[in-house]
A and B are shown apart, each in its own frame.
Chain A
Amino acid sequence: MSTETLPSPAPDKLTKKALTADHPTWCPGCGDFAVLAAFYKMLEKRQLPHENIVTLAGIGCSSRFPYFVNTHGAHFIHGRAVPLASGVSLSRPDLHVFLFGGDGDGFSIGGNHLEHGARKNINLTYVIMDNFVYGLTKKQTSPTSPIGYKSKTDPTGAIDQPVNPMKKLISAGATFIARTHSTQINHMITMMERAMDHPGFSVIEVLSECVEFYPGAFDAANPRKGGALKLIEEKKYDNTPEDDARHDITDELAAYKLANDPFPGWFGVFYQNDRPTKNALEKKWIDTTRAKFGGAGDVDMLQKTFDRMK
């Protein structure tokens, strides 16, 4: 596993080679390979400063992501990657914060953090690879497993209503919400780019098949397997009659309606709004406070406080 990259001249350009790290430990055929490939391609296209890219994750199969990307990264604990990434984002405006994880990490053990990260609108991009099953621990029911899914913890079929990720994110207040499919590389790249460019809490749910424990789970939305990929058509504001039928991504209720459609549902951007980020609001507060004190140095500032306590 400890395969170090061969020495080569420092790359000026962000190439796939420069971004490649350890060989992924995922099972052959896992949907997550395609997500990784899309992420490389997106970074290559955008050419961000290498040292300013941060790849973070919690726990799960998909959360191994940071090991496979040669950027600064951290592999954190189960369910808590959103607050970790929030700390990075809030204290370092110079960084591009990417967070990867799965459905258990994001919607179950980390569900509360997802709610609050969304509500606070922290500037980061969160890619949730949803496979409807716990893969790393070998086939237990996940928060997105459909009713009837047979797992080791529900041998006669899951009985609990699954989380609807889009509805959860809309109601929590995430400001960019999209859904994509791991067999659709170009669609994934587009969603990742738009998420990255969105100032705020941007989340992409990628249906990413677990070939080991839930094979064929997303065939219904895979044209190559006889399914249909229903893409959201966004409003173009071109004053044509067709435009009336298109989706207004700033319309929360319309997004909720789309999310209510039965599985496999819609793909594309469900919702986006430009509510100010916590990053911007906190910065504003820091700047006004600093200005009020004339930008005094640290020692003088604390001395002033102590003088008041005499």
Chain B
Amino acid sequence: MIRLAGNSQDGIQSAGAFLARLAGRSAQEVMTYMTIPSTISGGPSIFQVRIGSGEVLSSGDEADFLVAFYQHSYQDHIGFLKEGGVLLYDSDNVQPNLDDKRFVYVGIPITGLTVEALGGTAKDKGKNIFVLGLIAKVFDLDTEKLTNLIRERFAGKSDDIANTALMAFQAGYAYPVGNVLTKLYQFEPAEKTGDRAQVTMDGNQALAYGLIAGGVRYGAGYPITPWSSVMEILRSELPKYGGLFVQCEDELGAVSMALGFSYSGHLAITGSAGPGISLKTEAIGWASMAEIPLIIVNVQRGGPSTGLPTNVEQSDLYQAIFGGHGDSPRVVLAPATVEDCFYTAIEAARLARKYSTPVFILSDSSLATRIEAFHEPNLREVMLDAKLDLTPPSASFKPYPLDHVTRHAPPGTKLGEKYPVVTGLEHDEWGHPTGSPKLHMSMTAKRRRKLQLLGEEIPTPKIYGERKGDVLLIGWGSTYGPIHEAVKLAREKGDSISALHLRHLNPLPNGLEQIFAGFQRIVVVEMNDEGLYGYGQLATILRARYCDPKISSLTKTDGLTFRVKEILDGVLTQK
């Protein structure tokens, strides 16, 4: 694992992204992790790339190789370097404590050499690519593939920029790093698994392309970190498919416009982070009542309020499930990995249409920004039709039939004599407003029943590890990697521990109680607070649902992803 530590404007993310992309092309497993400050420009930042020929489950706890651009980068991150690990530092800016004999020190005047290689105007811009060249040399990376990646990255820009980048790369690669670092490394070549090529992208990209694959062609949003890039991608991509994404005046306008698209027969998406979802809540209640399909993406960050805008947290689960006025059941899905963002988006689109209901996708800032390589999907098989359906329904059509799931008839559909009003008022089967207690009871039950029906089709999740044992770890969302890596490590040491990951959070899959029966302890691992009564958000819901006192909670709120060690320590100390 390589960790690059510098400032956010130094372009370490793009250097890291090149490494990730290269690993993806070489059929290596890869996972990245980054932190960025919430300041506009500047501030400490890291980018971490973990590459392996086996299964890479998490971005890793400890670095094998640390690149420090500044003194603060060195001070803050030396603790993450493994004993025997290599510290590559910019000797123009960093003075490490050379007396600490645990590490291998490689000092290179990165700033000076970059300026020298590129000439005056660029100053030290380009030192990220210089370092990429250094890393390529140290790890004997495929320079041809890397230079191609650099050319592709700057395609469409002026030749100067691409040439400057290549010059920086060549200068880094040509530096006689062998004089100071005697041992060079090499990644084990990876076996190609399956015949599908790998694609490399971050979670927001996978989510956006998953929505397109799910036949979503319209959407509306408002900028907020870390959701914005989903919106930016869709704004540029949807016109290619004849669709449209609109940046609105505010979150309320965005969800309302998305509902306008959906009402018109084009399943639409809106999204935000927690604060923006709060603003959309009233309209989502309308979607429940009016039974209009809608996809709502929440890329979670640390909250409440402006909170920790660039950190990760899973504290919006309650908001997704319960964050509405009245009884307004909605579907909540949470992708586990970057790849899963793609497939979860398709599933959300399918469920929203089939059950004419709002569907939440709960991603988070670590999934949104980290880059993973995965086998490219078989688009012909997985893509859903985006066609507008104005087929006149049967003569018995009613907009809100009590005895089956609502099928929305969008405007433009010919309907004989009577046309329906889609409404947020409680209504009868024709959409006429009603204050009848009997109708409110039966319509509330109708809206609940369709989600219970949906629950029937959710598969019981697979257990990682044995079906019986001491401990079952339960996770949701982006904690998939560290939880599974923790279980893998503990099992290798002989612990009796398994894991279960929930992708469907509302409704929950059936069959969990039988699984729980096989374990002594069930520990729900999640990145939120233990709450007033000592249980995290999913743990509380599971305890309410199953009334099982074996269910306990491991939570944290430091705004960082779980480290494998934290999970193992947390589970062991709970005994």
* A positions within 8 Å CB-CB of B: 1-2, 4-5, 7-8, 10-11, 18, 21-22, 50-52, 54, 66-67, 70-77, 79-92, 94-95, 112-113, 115-116, 282, 285-286, 289-290, 293, 296, 298-299, 301-303, 305-306, 308-310
Contacts and interface: CB of A to CB of B under 8 A. Distances in A.
B234 to A, nearest CB: 12
Given A76-B286, A91-B264, A299-B383, A290 B422 contact: no
A95 B209 contact: no
Given A302-B212, A303-B379, A4 B239 contact: no
Interface stretch (B169-177, B355-363, B406-414): B406-414
Contacts of A80: 252-253, 256, 283
A115 B249 contact: yes
B78 interface: no
Interface stretch (B424-432, B461-469, B552-560): B424-432
Given A2-B430, A302-B379, A305-B237, A91 B283 contact: no
Contacts of B424: 75-77
A26 B235 CA distance: 43
Given A80-B256, A87-B263, A91-B218, A309 B286 contact: no
A265 B423 CA distance: 36
Interface in B244-272: 244, 246, 248-250, 252-254, 256-266, 268
A146 B500 CA distance: 63
A290 B237 CA distance: 10
Given A83-B253, A83-B260, A51 B419 contact: yes
Contacts of A76: 256, 259, 286, 424
Nearest to A6: B417
B418 A309 contact: no
Interface in B531-562: none
A18 B417 contact: yes
A88 B257 CA distance: 8
B427 to A, nearest CB: 9
21 contacts: A4-B418, A50-B419, A66-B421, A70-B418, A70-B419, A74-B290, A82-B253, A83-B257, A86-B257, A87-B262, A88-B261, A91-B260, A91-B264, A116-B249, A116-B253, A290-B239, A290-B240, A293-B240, A310-B24, A310-B197, A310-B198
B379 A95 contact: no
Given A70-B419, A86-B257, A285-B239, A305 B209 contact: yes
A71 B412 contact: no
B316 to A, nearest CB: 22
Contacts of A309: 21, 24, 199-201, 205
B390 to A, nearest CB: 8
Nearest to A7: B417
Interface of B: 21, 24-25, 152, 197-201, 205, 209, 212-213, 218, 220, 237, 239-244, 246, 248-250, 252-254, 256-266, 268, 282-283, 285-286, 290, 376-377, 379-380, 383, 386, 409-425, 428, 430, 432-434
A227 to B, nearest CB: 36
A72 B256 contact: no
A87 B261 contact: yes
- The CB with the most chain B CB atoms within 10 A, among A21, A84, A113, is that of A84
- The CB with the most chain A CB atoms within 10 A, among B199, B264, B413, is that of B264
B295 to A, nearest CB: 14
B257 A87 contact: yes
A87 B416 contact: no
B256 A84 contact: yes
Nearest to A289: B239
A88 B383 CA distance: 25
A72 B283 contact: no
Contacts of A54: 411
A84 to B, nearest CB: 4
Contacts of A66: 421
B414 A87 contact: no
Given A73-B422, A75-B425, A90-B246, A299 B380 contact: yes
A85 B257 CA distance: 7
A301 B241 contact: yes
Contacts of B417: 5, 7-8, 10-11, 18, 70
Contacts of B434: 1-2
Contacts of A21: 419, 421
Contacts of B380: 299
Complex A-B, nearest 6 residue pairs according to Cβ-Cβ distance, in ascending order: A87-B260, A72-B411, A83-B256, A116-B249, A80-B256, A289-B239
A18 B122 CA distance: 72
Contacts of B220: 83, 87
Contacts of B430: 2, 4
Given A92-B264, A289-B240, A301-B240, A87 B218 contact: yes
Contact of A77 (B197, B248, B286): B286
Given A79-B252, A87-B258, A90-B261, 15 more contacts: A51-B411, A70-B419, A75-B421, A82-B256, A83-B260, A87-B268, A91-B244, A113-B249, A113-B252, A286-B244, A298-B386, A301-B240, A306-B379, A308-B152, A310-B199
A298 B387 CA distance: 11
Contacts of B237: 305
Contacts of B266: 91
Contact of A51 (B415, B421, B422): B415
A302 B233 CA distance: 13
B215 to A, nearest CB: 8
A71 B237 CA distance: 34
Nearest to A119: B249
Contacts of B152: 308
Contacts of B240: 289-290, 293, 296, 301
B420 A73 contact: yes
A116 B248 contact: yes
B18 to A, nearest CB: 13
A139 B385 CA distance: 50
B413 A72 contact: yes
A72 B209 CA distance: 32
A307 to B, nearest CB: 8
A66 B198 CA distance: 52
A192 B261 CA distance: 25
Contacts of A85: 260
B283 A77 contact: yes
Nearest to B385: A298
A74 B415 contact: no
B383 A298 contact: yes
A86 B348 CA distance: 24
A54 B412 CA distance: 9
A82 B246 CA distance: 14
